[in-house]
Amino acid sequence: MISKAILTALGIPEAVSDYCHQKERELRPAFQHIEEIAEANQAKVLAAFQKHRVSENHFETTTGYGYNDLGRDTLEAVFAEIFRTEDALVRPQLICGTHALSTALFGCLRAGDELLYASGEPYDTLQGVIGIRPEMGSLADYGITYNQVELTPEGLPDPEAVVAALKPQTRLVGIQRSKGYLVRHTLAVDEIGSIIRAVKAVRPDIICMVDNCYGEFTEAIESTEVGADLCVGSLIKNLGGGLAPIGGYIVGRHDLIERCAVRLTAPGLGKEQGPTLGVNRSLYQGLFEAPSVVEAAVKTAVFAAKVFGDMGFAVYPGPEEVRHDIVQTVTLGDPKLLEKFCEGIQAASPVDSFVTPIPWDMPGYGGAQVIMAAGNFISGATIELSADAPMREPYVAFMQGALTWEHGKIGVMKALATMDVLK
């Protein structure tokens, strides 16, 4: 229990603390399921480390061209083992999830091909990559067309509609697991599998790619285990465990990974080049700690849903729902409340707690201004406790992350205290 003196220092009234601790006690049964998933994933990661004989030698660095980087190559083997795939591309040169997705799309698609998204409109930054929002160098600039199939009104996949939308030129079906800046259902691995099975039944040649950002280790299996040809994500989200300073990953079929590697480096170079520049130890350790960090993030999300949902705010998912990513939405309905929510998350941060987040025109996000609260050790690392939102109706906060459950709990309490809505 936090002492009254520390609560006062943190700016959390005792009434807020008492209310939140009561909600925590009510969540004990829900937390057990989260802990069981973390245990299964921790065992899987440990087994992969042991099978590939990870040693201190693998933490050494390379510079320049990065030839013969044993640590890099072994880490990629560990990723492939965890995801049950033929190959993996895990590089610090992949600077974010959008870059990893862009690399995969440009690696696999050619002029005249069509990209079909089976989960509705993709995340804001990817819209520029595709050309939905005109940007220099997009897929559209290279003669690659785009179409999308909406989810059902309940937010579920519609495999029949996806199959009906396939054209002779359709080359890749993309599936976004998480919600982006939409209040929608996050796709479960089994639901992703239903899309892939339907597509492969009629067109086994089509590449099925999953945007796995925010979803890793929230279930005991990954989408590559239900037929995905490629799975893509960021290392400053779940799988970096809060330690990876940069990086992204692409896992999947060997031939497709080679295409992605050639796009990342250059024709003829592929996976052979790419120095690790001293980050190997952080990438290994972050991956090893990721199951417990994701557990903390999911518990924090469930706690926020309970705290704010029981106050009458619309939350999604609800506190009792099974999770498929680390993102929690809280519909605040008022721009000032949204700003206060983000102020509270920022004020509870270990870094830049004294900074007040304000809405701004963030690069890559068209339309509304975006407010971001992220007092992080790694800039932009959304596995650390953070919250962001487009400043548009109905003013929804998108909260994610927490390196520890204890910090996540304090962050939610501070957000509630800053909003000053508990009477």
pLDDT at residue 332 in the model: 97
Q: What angle do CA 401, 403, 407 make, to 5 degrees?
A: 90
DSSP code of residue 326: S
Q: Which residue has the tokens 């099978």?
A: 51
pLDDT at residue 368 in the model: 78
For residue range 66-114, list pLDDT tens digits in order.
Answer: 999 999 999 999 999 999 999 999 999 999 999 999 999 999 999 999 9
Q: What is the mean pLDDT of residues 233-249?
A: 97
What's CA 11's distance to the chain center, in Å? 30
Reading the block at residue 367, the tokens are: 């339309």
Domain ranges of the chain: 4-42+288-419, 60-287
| pTM score, whole prediction | 0.95
CB-CB contact of 78 with 52 (8 Å) = yes
pLDDT at residue 324 in the model: 97
Question: Omega before 275 cis (within 30°)?
Answer: no
For residue range 340-368, list pLDDT tens digits in order.
Answer: 999 999 999 999 999 999 998 876 666 67
CA distance readout (Å), 110 to 118, 259, 262: 20, 11, 14
Instruction: Catalogue the E-assigned strands of 246-293.
Output: 248-252
Q: What is the CATH number of domain 4-42+288-419?
A: 3.90.1150.60
Averaged pLDDT of the chain: 96
**CA-CA distance, 339 to 316, in Å (whole number)?**
19
Cα-based torsion angle of the residue sequence 97, 103, 105, 111 in order, rounded to the nearest 10 degrees:
150
How many other CB atoms are there within 10 angstroms of residue 383's CB atom? 31
Beta bridge partners of 372: 388
Q: What is the CATH number of domain 60-287?
A: 3.40.640.10
How many other CB atoms are there within 10 angstroms of residue 101's CB atom? 29
**CA-CA distance, 264 to 273, in Å (whole number)?**
10
Sign of torsion, CA 330 335 337 338? positive
CB-CB contact of 127 with 140 (8 Å) = no
For residue range 278-303, list pLDDT tens digits in order.
Answer: 999 999 999 999 999 999 999 999 99
Task: Write the CB contacts of 107 (distance below 8 Å, at least 6 apart in sequence).
Answer: 256, 259, 260, 261, 262, 263, 264
**CA-CA distance, 159 to 196, in Å (whole number)?**
8
**CA-CA distance, 224 to 253, in Å (whole number)?**
10
Reading the block at residue 9, the tokens are: 């220092």
